[in-house]
Homo-oligomer: A and B are copies of this chain.
Amino acid sequence: MRLLKTIEEAKAYIKEVKTAGRSVGFVPTMGYLHEGHLQLMKVARRECDTVIISIFVNPIQFGVNEDYDKYPRDLTRDCELAASVGVDAVFAPTAAEMYPSGYATFLEVEGLTEKLCGLSRPGHFRGVTTVVTKLFNIVQPDIAYFGQKDAQQVLVIKKMVADLNMNLTVKTVETVREADGLAMSSRNTYLNKEERQAALVLYKSLQKARDMIRAGERQKSRVIAAMEALIKAEPLARIDYVDILSIPDLRDIEELKGEILIALAVYIGNTRLIDNFMLEV
């Protein structure tokens, strides 16, 4: 497995791959890999000739009071894990390599980014779309793989790719969960034992919503009230948002029908976790 540290190295490697006529599957990550990431790589491995992942904790998608500095990092372990699922190359640039002094170009996807995580984290998606565009230009993938856990991120990136006529396909891979239902996340490492138990409330509230809708409930407000009641009963939990919106345009809906996203962000202690279900009603 190749470890590519600079953009120039990465571009040279991609050029070789492309010249050999090989298809490129790409998994962008912030590292500290878990089974959710590895699942993306395994799908890419099945579908593409060459699999490249990036490991880059992207400073511009973090707010000033967020966890950029303490975000977990372990490149050695990450490279071992990537190699174990057959990844061909890891692109792991420094922040200075990606954003040299005087860096000035940013992308915005309007509308979609003003809901859910976009409200709680101003500038977050601007940072995401900017870094993903850079990574796409460097890696030039045929297919890029994203986890459904970051549902809004996937919708924003798909919209950007369509709007800007980018030459690749974005594929979404189902959320991987722990045995008890907690969505895999690098941020789960922040949780102590009590918090880990309390964090289950995200998955439970999503199950509650799904059960209500399956039983015939179509009023968004009633579903959300039930989810919120469940979360508020957990002393270590504090709601950031709980919402149900249409897919793919994230419109507000009161009557639940068509393709919908049930999404929530909840602080467990100081750790902000997100999760979601997509349903066809």
Tell me the A residues contacting B by CB distance below 8 Å: 7, 11, 102-112, 129-130, 133-134, 137-138, 140, 159-160, 163-167, 249
| Structural contact, A107 and B105, CB atoms closer than 8 A | yes
CB distance from A160 to the nearest CB of B (A): 5
**Complex alpha-carbon distance, A71 and B166, angstroms:** 29
With A164-B137, A165-B7, A165-B134 already in contact, the answer to whether A105 and B108 are too (CB < 8 A) is yes
Residues of B within 8 A of A105 (CB): 107-110, 129, 159-160, 163-164
B104/A106 in contact, CB under 8 A: no
* Pairwise interchain contact B104-A164, C-beta atoms closer than 8 A: no
Whether B107 lies near A107 (C-beta < 8 A) is yes
CB contact between A112 and one of B104, B130, B163, B166 (< 8 Å): that residue? B104
Residue of B whose beta carbon sits closest to that of A160: B105
A111 touches B107 (CB 8 A): no
A208 to chain B, nearest CB (A): 33
Measured CB to CB, the nearest residue on chain B to A130 is B164
**11 A-B residue pairings within 8 Å (CB atoms):** A7-B165, A11-B167, A104-B110, A105-B108, A105-B129, A105-B159, A106-B108, A137-B165, A137-B166, A137-B167, A140-B167
CA A105 – CA B164 in complex, angstroms? 7
Chain B residues within 8 Å of A134, by CB: 163-165
A159 adjacent to B104 (CB under 8 Å) = yes
What chain B residues lie within 8 Å of A130 (beta carbons)?
164
- Alpha-carbon gap, A138 to B167, bound state (A): 8
How many angstroms from the CA of A103 to the CA of B130 in the assembled complex?
18
Complex CA–CA separation, A164 to B164 (angstroms): 13
- Alpha-carbon gap, A103 to B164, bound state (A): 9
Closest to A129 in B: B105
Residue of B nearest to A140 (CB): B167
Evaluate contact between A106 and B110: CB separation under 8 angstroms: yes
- CA distance in complex: A109, B112 (Å): 21
In the complex, chain B residues whose CB is within 8 Å of the CB of A137: 164-167
